Structure 1
Amino acid sequence: MDLFSRTNLKADPVKVKQVKIWIAEILNIDEEIGISLNQLTCHEEDCPPIETAIVIMKQPPKQYKIHKSITEIDRADIEQLIKQ
C-alpha cells in the first residue's frame, strides 16, 4: 500500500515562487541551491490529508514537512522550520 502519493492538485505557480523566496530568505539559502516543493497526500490515519515536503538540494539534502498545502503556507510556517 502506498501511504504517500503526490496529489494531482496543482499549486498556484505564483504562490510556489513566493514560498520558495521565503524559504531562501529565512533559511539563508544561496540562490544557486535548488528548492523543491511537493504536495503529498497521506492515507494513514494519523496523517494530515495534505502536507508539503520541502527539500533543499544541498549536500546532504535537507528535508522539511509542513502539514498544509502549498496554498495554505505563510511566512510564519517557514519561520517555524528554523526552530525544528
Structure 2
Amino acid sequence: MSHSFINPLAPRGHNIVNAASSIKEWTRAALSLDDSDIVSVNELACHLPGCPPKEAVILVMSGSGSVRKISIHKAIVDVRACDLCAALEVSQP
C-alpha cells in the first residue's frame, strides 16, 4: 500500500513561473500598463466550504498609488487569457 505525499513547501516547477509570467503579460496588455505600474500574481488556498481550492490573485499597483485586485478562482497554471478578460469585466478599477 503506497501513499503519496505532496510537500506543500517543495519548490514549484517552472510551469507556475511561466504561467505567472504569462498572466502578468496579459494583464499589462489588457490594461495598457506602462513600466511604472507593478503587476503581482499570487496563488492562495481557500479552505472555506464551497470555495475553490485555489485562487489566482492579481494585484495591479499603479505609479500613482492606486491598487486594483483581480481574482480568478483557478490555480495559476490553469488560468487562460479568457479567464483574465472575464475577471477584468467584473472587477472594479
Query: Do they superpose with TM above 0.5?
Result: yes
- 2:58 paired residue among 50, 54, 57: 54
Q: Deviating runs (4+, > 4 A) in structure 1?
A: none
Relative to the length of structure 1, the TM-score reads 0.81
Which structure is richer in relative contact order (CA contacts within 8 A, separation 6 or more)?
A: 1
Please say which structure displays the higher CA radius of gyration: 2
Alignment root-mean-square deviation, CA: 1.7
Q: Hey, what's the Cα distance between the residues in 2 that align with 1:31 and 1:68?
A: 27
Residue 75 of structure 1 and its aligned partner are, at CA, apart by 0.7
Structure 1 residues not aligned, in runs of 5+: 1-6
Determine which structure has the larger helix proportion and give its number: 2
Residue 69 of structure 1 and its aligned partner are, at CA, apart by 0.7
Answering whether residue 27 of structure 2 is matched by residue 43 of structure 1, we say: no
Residue 27 of structure 1 and its aligned partner are, at CA, apart by 1.7
Q: Hey, what's the Cα distance between the residues in 1 that align with 2:27 and 2:47?
A: 27
- Partner secondary structure for residue 81 of structure 1: helix
- Percent identical pairs in the alignment equals 26
